[in-house]
């Protein structure tokens, strides 16, 4: 029995070491160029090229509008690249009349480098600076919109620097909380390097918040999204997506509330 126990302990420690070593590979799933459709039809956008604080060259797509209701920086999730978000960009730009920049973090799409927590947050700040200059507005007047991993990045920017509004889709309290929901038998809360501790820092944001989450999300549990919402300041609004899983598209009911949220932002000083 003692020999079996020692064997199980060694195996357990080995699994921990492997997961520590492979943490970034388990978290980030970039699709690098040329993966994806880089010439989508019926889409009006311009290439955005800029660099992060450490000199990493980044790439995105900017969807301009002549008289936009608001200007949005869209921060995508941990997999793929911007080509998989073209339908979202079209809806925001054409249906809701928003000027939108969506870009790829380092290591994704046409952007150089390798993803990391500090790196993707720095990339988002560089993207916001580029967008403010291109749109001719202040960085504080940009609406931040983040989905999944991008929600953690959006919270960081909004809490530390402010924003016109904050929109979060299917996001989390922290990365260790999500990992613990899947790997409850490992001490991930103490060992993970990547944190994006949104539940702690969202208290620094006091602007309008619109948050949504699928009630059947199997990647980031619904209750985790609700815990983040509970930690946020007013004014805030939560939208349930009934039976929605993590990668399901947002329903029309969400976009109706999104539309109302943008209308209210236009009257916020």
| Residue 45 shares a structural domain with residue 24 | no
| Residue 193 shares a structural domain with residue 241 | yes
| Residue 153 shares a structural domain with residue 123 | yes
| Residue 134 shares a structural domain with residue 100 | yes
Are the C-beta atoms of 156 and 121 separated by less than 8 Å? yes
Q: What are phi and psi of 240, to 5 degrees?
A: -75, 140
Query: Is this prediction's pTM over 0.85?
Result: yes
| Residue 22 shares a structural domain with residue 37 | no
Are the C-beta atoms of 168 and 156 separated by less than 8 Å? no
Q: Is the pLDDT of residue 268 over 70?
A: no
| Residue 137 shares a structural domain with residue 194 | yes
Alpha carbon distances (Å) from 80 to 41, 84, 107, 169, 253: 19, 7, 10, 17, 26
Residue 213: the pLDDT is: 98
| Residue 81 shares a structural domain with residue 19 | no
Q: Is the pLDDT of residue 21 over 70?
A: no
Q: Which of 82-91, 119-128, 178-187, 254-263 has the lowest mean pLDDT?
A: 178-187
Spatial separation of the C-alpha atoms in residues 103 and 51, rounded to whole Å: 12
Beta-strand relationship, 29-30 and 46-51:
unpaired
Residue 240: the pLDDT is: 97
Average pLDDT, stretch 106-117? 97
Q: How many domains does the chain have?
A: 2
CATH number for the domain harbouring residue 79: 3.40.50.1820
Residue 20: the pLDDT is: 64
| Residue 117 shares a structural domain with residue 8 | no
| Residue 8 shares a structural domain with residue 34 | no
Per residue in 45-78, pLDDT (tens digit) is 999 999 999 999 999 999 999 999 999 999 999 9
| Residue 79 shares a structural domain with residue 6 | no
Domain that holds residue 21: 1-29
| Residue 22 shares a structural domain with residue 55 | no
Q: Is the pLDDT of residue 122 over 70?
A: yes
- Count of other CB atoms within 10 angstroms of residue 218: 12
Considering Cα of 126, then 131, then 136, then 140, what sign does the dihedral take? negative
| Residue 24 shares a structural domain with residue 46 | no
Residue 98: the pLDDT is: 98
Confidence of residue 43 (pLDDT cuts 50, 70, 90): confident
């Amino acid at each position: 029995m003692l020999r079996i126990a020692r064997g199980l302990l060694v195996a357990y420690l080995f699994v921990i070491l492997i997961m520590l070593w492979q943490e970034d590979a388990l978290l980030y799933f970039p699709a690098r160029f040329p993966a994806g459709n880089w010439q989508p039809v019926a889409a009006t956008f311009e290439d955005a090229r800029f660099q992060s604080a450490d000199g990493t060259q980044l790439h995105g797509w900017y969807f301009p509008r002549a008289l936009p209701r608001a200007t949005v920086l869209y921060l995508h999730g941990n997999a793929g690249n911007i080509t998989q978000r073209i339908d979202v960009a079209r809806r925001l730009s054409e249906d809701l009349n928003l000027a939108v920049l969506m870009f790829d973090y380092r290591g994704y799409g046409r952007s150089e480098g390798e993803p990391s927590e500090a790196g993707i947050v720095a990339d988002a700040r560089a993207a916001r600076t580029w967008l403010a200059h291109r749109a001719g507005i202040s960085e504080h007047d940009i609406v931040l919109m983040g989905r999944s991993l991008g929600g953690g990045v959006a919270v960081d920017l909004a809490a530390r620097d402010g924003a016109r509004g904050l929109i979060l889709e299917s996001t989390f309290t922290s990365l260790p909380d999500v990992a613990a929901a899947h790997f409850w038998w490992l001490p991930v809360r103490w060992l993970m390097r990547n944190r994006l501790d949104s539940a702690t820092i969202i208290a620094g944001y006091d602007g309008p918040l619109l948050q949504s989450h699928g009630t059947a999300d199997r990647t980031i549990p619904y209750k985790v999204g609700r815990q983040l919402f509970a930690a946020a300041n007013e004014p805030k609004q939560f939208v349930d997506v009934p039976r929605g899983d993590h990668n399901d598209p947002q329903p029309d009911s969400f976009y109706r509330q999104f539309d109302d949220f943008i209308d209210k932002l236009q009257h916020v000083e």
